[in-house]
Each structure stands twice: as structure tokens, then as C-alpha cells.
Amino acid sequence: MQKHLTIDLNNLPEEGKQFEGELDQELYKLPAHDAQPTGPLYYDLHVQRFENELLVRGYLSSPFEFTCVRTNKQFIKTISIEEFADSFEIEEAQANLTDPLREEVLTAFPDYPRCDEADEPQECIIDKRYLAVDKDTTSGVDPAPQAPNDTRWSALDDLNEFKD
């Protein structure tokens, strides 16, 4: 599996060339608490040169493990870019497309990943206990569960000067 996608511009035909393959998932280098790749970056690209510009069009996809913002469950979602298109200014005899492809996939991440949008959708219902944290008892939501004999916050009840 390749670590980089480098295009040799000296051997690129005038009509362009199709490039297909996989790049090692190591290229993402994401922090441990972030989404993690579960497979390689697959690409199927047509690359064509126009004087000092390189036009790249095609398809990108890569699977990632996300954490659902509602249920806190882990799930797999493949990020697919059906109509990737970008152009690059040519300054050397070779063009390394690895970083632009990586960035394109990362910018396609969902803002709020949910497990009902996974490759294998799961039930995505928030636990009602978490809805009760900021609600009063008349809202119809069951009260938040209380830890038994938790007196950490009881000192705040004694502060009368901050009460309305």
C-alpha cells in the first residue's frame, strides 16, 4: 500500500491519465480522542496538465470510526467524495497529492456524527436521563438520577447571598 500519491509530470500524457489505488491510513495522523481511520484512503482520479496547472477529478473514500454525539456509541462511517475536483499550480516535475486528498476527506467529516448515519445505521435515541439535567420537575421529564449520599454540592445551598 502506498504512503504517498506522487504524479510524475514528465510522463503524464497530454490527455491526462487515470490513477487508482489506496493510500495507507497512517497519513491521517489524528489525535487519539478524535475519529480514527479504520481503512485506507481509496482514490480513483483523472489527472490532467494544463500548462502550469494540474487538474485532478474523481472519487475518494475512507472509513472512519466516530463517536455518536447522542448515544456516545462508536460506529463506522465511510466518508465518500463522489465528485472531487481541484487544481494545483505546478512548480516542480512531480506533484504530491497526498496532503490535498487527506485534507479533502477530513473537511468532509460530519459536524455532529450520529450513529443513525453510520454505514450500518443504529438506533440513535438519547437517554432521557441526560435530558433532565437542566429541567425543572414540571417539564414532564423524569428527574436526573442522583448519586446516593452525594454531598459535594451541598455547600452551595448554604450561600444565601447569591440567591435571587
- pLDDT tens digits, one per residue of 6-37: 888 888 898 999 999 999 999 999 998 899 99
| 2 grid coordinates | 502506498
pLDDT score, position 156: 72
* pLDDT of the residue at 27: 92
Measured CA to CA, the distance from residue 51 to residue 77 in angstroms comes to 38
- pLDDT band for position 91 (cuts 50, 70, 90): confident
Does the pLDDT of residue 134 top 90, yes or no? Answer: no
pLDDT-derived band at 164 (thresholds 50, 70, 90) equals low
For range 60-81, the mean pLDDT? 94
The whole-number pLDDT of residue 58 equals 96
pLDDT at 67 over 90: yes
C-alpha cell at 103: 485534507
Query: What value does the mean pLDDT take over residues 53-62?
Result: 95
Output the pLDDT for position 135. Answer: 58
The average pLDDT across 64-88 equals 93
Q: Are 16 and 46 in contact (CB under 8 A)?
A: yes
Residue 136 confidence (pLDDT) above 70: no
